[in-house]
């Protein structure tokens, strides 16, 4: 049984895939397996994956019809056998001592979740985040569970994405990523924090997150629709989050307050460059859920 299982969903990323997989091959920590799930790629991604599987027995490849990112993650989970689980998006890559730093910290601290800082790569430039510095503000770099879970609202500590960490595989028991929905990280990772006992953040950088140039359309109307769709999904995920919090009876008042504050912030963030009907549509969406949330709170009193 390997120490680490690395899940890599793959879909039409032939341009970036070799850099991603090479960064795994050169890891200074070597006790790992790689579960590659080709999610119905129509480019050379599957053939590239086959090459790595033939070169290294630690790489395993599953091909499936397209199910989306969440569906590919669920397939990864079914084949993982490691003590800890790590994720890597197929257009991102790792520093060569990424796993070593995470594993050494886990052994030293006994944490069931160990996170490390993320740097962004876009248009051939690296952008260093500040969240990794914030990990150092916590005594012994131990991140309180309540703080980690609150990152679902603000993203201050970059703890919502499933990548950028290792997690005890036991935390994934019974966890299924929500298929057919966007932002599957935001809508599911909090479940892992809810069951965790100790979360540690390494105040360093180790994971490289690629933002592809031109991935966001510059057309105003189309861009608004993309933002609006994303906000609908974000609210859906946050209401799912609140449902789990309430059922677990975990810091309910605290998270009720955060959600109310978050909704207010959305009303303040309406883009003045949008058309009047777009601004109204956005506000109506947020106001609708704010009213529903207030009604829900009144029933609990």
Name every residue whose Cβ is closer than 8 Å to that of residue 285 and which is 6 or more positions away in sequence: 228, 231, 232, 235
Same domain for 244 and 263? yes
Domain boundary among 210, 240, 262: 210
Same domain for 146 and 248? no
Same domain for 171 and 68? yes
Q: What angle do CA 115, 118, 122 make, to 5 degrees?
A: 160
- Report pLDDT for 301: 64
Q: Tell me which residue range forms the domain holding 244.
A: 220-300
CATH number of the domain residue 183 falls in = 3.90.550.10
- Report pLDDT for 223: 83
Domain boundary among 210, 237, 255: 210
- How many residues in total does the chain contain? 301
Same domain for 267 and 201? no
Same domain for 75 and 206? yes
**By CB neighbour count within 10 A (0-12 exposed, 13-18 middle, 19+ buried), where does 102 fall?**
buried
Same domain for 158 and 76? yes
Same domain for 197 and 52? yes
Name every residue whose Cβ is closer than 8 Å to that of residue 91 and which is 6 or more positions away in sequence: 13, 16, 17, 20, 210, 212
Same domain for 51 and 186? yes
What does the DSSP 8-state code read for residue 142? B
Q: Residue 5: helix, strand or coil by DSSP?
A: strand
d(CA 18, CA 122): 18
Residue 276 belongs to some domain of the structure: yes
Place of tokens 């180790």: 206
Name every residue whose Cβ is closer than 8 Å to that of residue 114 and which is 6 or more positions away in sequence: 102, 105, 106, 165, 166, 199, 200, 201, 202
Q: Per the structure, how many domains does the chain have?
A: 2
d(CA 215, CA 288): 30
User: Sign of the C-alpha dihedral, residues 90, 94, 98, 102?
Assistant: negative
Residue 215 belongs to some domain of the structure: no
Helix (H) or strand (E) segment spanning residue 49: helix 45-55
Residue 266 belongs to some domain of the structure: yes
- Report pLDDT for 160: 87
User: How do the pLDDT tens digits run along the chain, 301 residues long?
Assistant: 899 999 999 999 999 999 999 999 999 999 999 999 999 999 999 999 999 999 999 999 999 999 999 999 999 999 999 999 999 999 999 999 999 999 999 999 999 999 999 999 988 888 887 788 899 889 999 999 999 999 999 888 989 889 999 999 999 998 888 887 666 666 688 889 999 999 999 999 999 999 986 443 344 456 888 889 989 989 999 999 999 999 999 999 999 999 999 999 999 988 888 999 999 999 999 999 999 999 888 877 6
- Report pLDDT for 217: 34
Domain boundary among 154, 180, 210: 210
Same domain for 63 and 141? yes
d(CA 17, CA 19): 5
């Amino acid at each position: 049984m390997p120490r680490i299982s690395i899940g890599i969903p793959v879909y039409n990323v032939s341009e970036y895939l070799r850099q991603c997989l090479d960064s795994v091959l050169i890891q200074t920590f070597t006790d790992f397996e790689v579960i590659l799930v080709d999610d119905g790629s129509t480019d050379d991604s599957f053939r590239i994956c086959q090459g790595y599987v033939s070169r290294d027995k630690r790489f395993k490849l599953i091909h499936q019809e397209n199910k989306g990112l969440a569906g590919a993650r669920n397939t990864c989970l079914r084949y993982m056998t490691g003590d800890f689980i790590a994720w890597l998006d197929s257009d991102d890559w790792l520093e060569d001592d990424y796993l070593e730093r995470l594993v050494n910290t886990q052994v030293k601290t006994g944490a069931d979740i160990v996170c490390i800082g993320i740097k962004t790569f876009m248009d051939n430039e690296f952008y260093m985040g500040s969240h990794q510095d914030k990990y150092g503000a916590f005594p012994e770099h131990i991140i309180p569970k309540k703080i980690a879970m609150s990152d679902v609202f603000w993203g201050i500590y970059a703890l919502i994405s499933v990548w950028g960490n290792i997690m005890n595989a036991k935390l994934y028991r019974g966890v299924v990523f929500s298929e057919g929905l966007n932002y599957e990280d935001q809508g599911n990772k909090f479940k892992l924090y809810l069951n965790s006992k100790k979360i540690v953040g390494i105040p360093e950088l180790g994971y490289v997150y690629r933002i592809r140039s031109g991935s966001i359309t510059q057309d105003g109307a189309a861009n608004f629709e993309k933002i609006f769709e994303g906000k609908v999904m974000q609210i859906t995920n946050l209401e799912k989050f609140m449902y789990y919090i309430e059922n677990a009876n975990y810091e309910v008042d605290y998270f009720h307050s955060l959600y109310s504050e978050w909704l207010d912030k959305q009303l303040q963030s309406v883009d003045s460059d949008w058309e009047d009907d777009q601004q109204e549509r956005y506000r109506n969406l947020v106001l609708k859920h704010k009213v529903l949330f207030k009604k829900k709170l009144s029933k609990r009193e």
